[in-house]
Amino acid sequence: MSNGAPFRLTGLLVAAAAAAAGLVALAVVQPKSAAAGWLVGFLFWSQLPIGSLVLLLIHALTGGRWGESLRPALAPTAAAVPWLLVLVIPVFLAVPMLYPWAQGSGAVKPDVAAYYLNTSWFIVRSVIALAGWSVLARSLPRLRGLAGQLLAGLGLAFHALIVSSVAIDWVLSLEPPFVSSSFGAGTAIMQLLTGLAWAALLAPEPENDPVVGDIGGLLLTLVLGITYIDFMAVLVIWYGDLPNRVFWFVERDRLPWSALALGAFVLVSALPTCALIAARVRRSRSALRAVGASVLGGSMLYTAYLTAPRFGTGALIGAALAIAAIGLLLAALTAAGAQAPRRERRPAHGH
């Protein structure tokens, strides 16, 4: 561990505490904006460890040099999944403030409210999802061969089953009765895309390694996937002209939400697609870092677009503070975890 490492870790923790203090101050004045901001921050940052974990599960089944080259970035990010069980606690505490069904909204049918969409079951489903992902994140690095492949297969089946449930719980149930049958698939693809973008930004591959082109191809595939899913959802819902669905888009057809949508489209879909179509870009390590940064920036805007409109523009202030606080905290935890093995391997003095 370098002499400057403890100071960097301290700096991250201090900055995270400062952002958290700002969020607490906002909560005193506008508690709903602060709660909504924390939800945006939690949703954005949860995509990176969950997406990284799913990429590792896929690689455990399929193999390939792309996974080995990205492992230095994917593994420590996936290891942060258990911390999501802590970060979700403020969301649980704010459920009555955030979700209209928790206040007896008439938009939810009585039998749905009684047996599914209520605070108790919301927490149970969230804990099952996060605990399951946490077990996978802790177990996968310890298993090799057939045992690792079996765990990866079971883990991907669990993920496919649970991701739609929590996506609907955490996001779509903010504004009942809006529903979208493709939202779970879009969430799963976005998790993979943000995890891969993060790894593309951080993975230490040399410029001339042939595997860079494979990573660029995977990025292009996921970018096209999320673009197609979201475009078809808008097309079907908008031209279906059903009042209980169209209202969701009408509510967002004004500033600043329309600007967030445009920014997300440009950063997640338009720019990456135009760039990655070129083979020389897909094979360029520095270009993939730029694409990864673009996708991550667009993902922040997209998460705010999905979540914040019901709570007004004040939620964007809370979102900025929460994204900063959670991101800095996760960076500090990852840095601390990376330093611990080095301390353990240090030889004792006098031998």
pLDDT (mean) for 234-250: 75
Domain count, the chain: 1
Query: 4 lies in a domain?
Result: no
Burial 84-108 (b: 16+ CB within 10 A, else e): beebbebbeebbeebbbbbeeeeeb
Which of the pair, 103 or 97, is modelled with greater confidence? 97
- Reading the block at residue 245, the tokens are 């669905």
Cβ neighbors of 103 (< 8 A, separation 6 or more) are 96
pTM for the model stands at: 0.87
pLDDT in tens, 125-163: 999 999 999 999 999 988 888 888 899 999 999 999 999
Among residues 296, 298, 304, which one has the least CA distance to residue 321? 304
Q: How many Å apart are CA 21 and CA 17, to the nearest integer?
A: 6
Cβ neighbors of 182 (< 8 A, separation 6 or more) are 229, 232, 233
Mean pLDDT of the chain: 85
pLDDT at position 268 is 94
Query: 200 lies in a domain?
Result: yes
Domain residues for the domain of 256 are 12-333
Percent of the chain past pLDDT 90, that is, above it, reads 48
Query: 49 lies in a domain?
Result: yes
pLDDT (mean) for 38-63: 94
Instruction: For the chain, report the end-to-end CA distance as a whole number of angstroms.
Output: 20
pLDDT at position 218 is 92
pLDDT for residue 171 is more than 80 = yes
Angle (CA) 78 83 84, round 5°: 90
Amino acid found at 11 = G
pLDDT in tens, 336-347: 655 554 444 444
Q: What is the DSSP letter of 85?
A: H
- Reading the block at residue 167, the tokens are 């996506």
pLDDT at position 339 is 56
